[in-house]
């Protein structure tokens, strides 16, 4: 196999709680992750020129070791002594620095793609164990679907799929540093009522109750990001007034997503958010719950 094409899917956090700051500087989290049908496209190709090349449609993205795509390729190339040059074309569609794990998903896609191309024989678990070296969200981006993430995000348990619904995604024209948000969250000082009830969300998923799930959605990082960027609160309000069952910031922000029970309400909200000009990027999509062995198209050459 000389070429492989993959979709790297984005995620939203249905619930995100931070339990404490650990002595090593990382934060202990408890969160529910949900893959959505919004994705970057990657093509990985063997080339004669040695080394790793990364090309992307966004001029401001790094194409060296500062990009998770590059790091993922180097990790496997070094471990398995891959002799070929590797060229990766990355077509970014997931908003950047948006709390949607776009970079982590791209890295996960490269791990999966190289494993397929070179027949490395790594299981999904093996890829996830290597993925955590790249970032806390990468193991989940290998797993995908609906999952509970604990520890620093690497301890994963598959949950019942999110009920059928429509998701409105809106990213304002700002970027947020995940590291800065966590550094400014004083987890040990939070009051009990500031923590979302993640267990209640799991119960709602088990009952397939979209209304109950939406009512319990919560993200403790909003305590930091919203005061710094009030537009996030305005987008949430716009979605709720347009008929969302619930609206929440994803990850460390600034992306907001709204949950809608039918397409008619979702499209009405889409128009409302567009007219408001509160967001620079707006998408209407659905949860991605049917997880095959990744989406891939392969070409065999020569």
Catalytic residues: 11, 137
Residue 287, token pair as written in the block: 């949860």
Q: What is the DSSP letter of 188?
A: G
Q: Are 23 and 188 in contact (CB under 8 A)?
A: no
Which residues on neighbouring strands pair with residue 298, listed in sequence order? 4
Q: Are 249 and 219 in contact (CB under 8 A)?
A: yes
Query: Residue 121, by phi and psi: left (phi above 0), alpha (psi -120 to 50) or beta?
Result: left
3-class DSSP assignment, residue 282: strand
For residues 119 and 117, give the distance between their C-alpha atoms in angstroms, rounded to a whole number. 6
For residues 45 and 299, give the distance between their C-alpha atoms in angstroms, rounded to a whole number. 10
For residues 113 and 119, give the distance between their C-alpha atoms in angstroms, rounded to a whole number. 10
- CA-closest candidate to residue 110, choices 98, 122, 100: 122
Which residues on neighbouring strands pair with residue 200, listed in sequence order? none
For residues 102 and 245, give the distance between their C-alpha atoms in angstroms, rounded to a whole number. 25
- Determine the Cα angle at 68 with ends 66 and 72, to 5°: 120
Cα distances (Å, whole numbers) of residue 141 to 109, 277, 293: 8, 31, 13
- CA-closest candidate to residue 98, choices 251, 270, 233: 251
Cα distances (Å, whole numbers) of residue 177 to 78, 105, 151: 30, 17, 21
Residue matched to tokens 């969302």: 244
């Amino acid at each position: 196999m000389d070429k492989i094409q993959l979709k790297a899917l984005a995620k939203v956090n249905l619930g995100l709680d931070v339990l404490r700051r650990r002595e090593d500087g990382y934060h202990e989290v408890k969160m529910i992750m949900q893959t959505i049908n919004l994705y970057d496209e990657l093509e990985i190709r063997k080339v004669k020129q040695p080394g790793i090349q990364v090309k992307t449609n966004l001029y401001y993205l790094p194409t060296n070791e500062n990009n998770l795509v590059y790091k993922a390729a180097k990790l496997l190339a070094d471990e398995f002594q891959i002799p070929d040059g590797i060229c990766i074309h990355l077509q970014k569609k997931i908003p950047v620095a948006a709390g949607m794990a776009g970079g982590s998903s791209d890295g996960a896609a490269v791990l999966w793609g190289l494993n397929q191309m070179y027949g490395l024989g790594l299981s999904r678990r093996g890829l996830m164990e290597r993925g955590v070296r790249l970032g806390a969200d990468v193991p989940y981006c290998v797993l995908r679907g609906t999952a509970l993430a604990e520890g620093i995000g690497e301890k994963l348990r598959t949950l019942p799929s999110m009920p059928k619904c429509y998701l409105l995604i809106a990213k304002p024209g700002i970027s947020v540093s995940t590291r800065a948000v966590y550094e400014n969250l004083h987890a040990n000082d939070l009051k009990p009522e500031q923590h979302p009830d993640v267990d209640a969300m799991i119960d709602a998923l088990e009952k397939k109750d979209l209304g109950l799930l939406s009512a319990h959605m919560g993200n403790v990082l909003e305590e930091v990001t919203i005061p710094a960027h009030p537009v996030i609160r305005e987008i949430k309000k716009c979605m709720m007034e347009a008929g969302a069952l619930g609206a929440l910031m994803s990850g460390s922000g600034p992306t907001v997503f709204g949950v809608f029970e039918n397409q008619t309400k979702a499209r009405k909200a889409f128009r409302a958010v567009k007219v408001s000009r509160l967001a620079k990027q707006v998408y209407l999509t659905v949860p991605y719950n049917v997880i095959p062995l990744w989406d891939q198209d392969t070409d065999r050459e020569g």
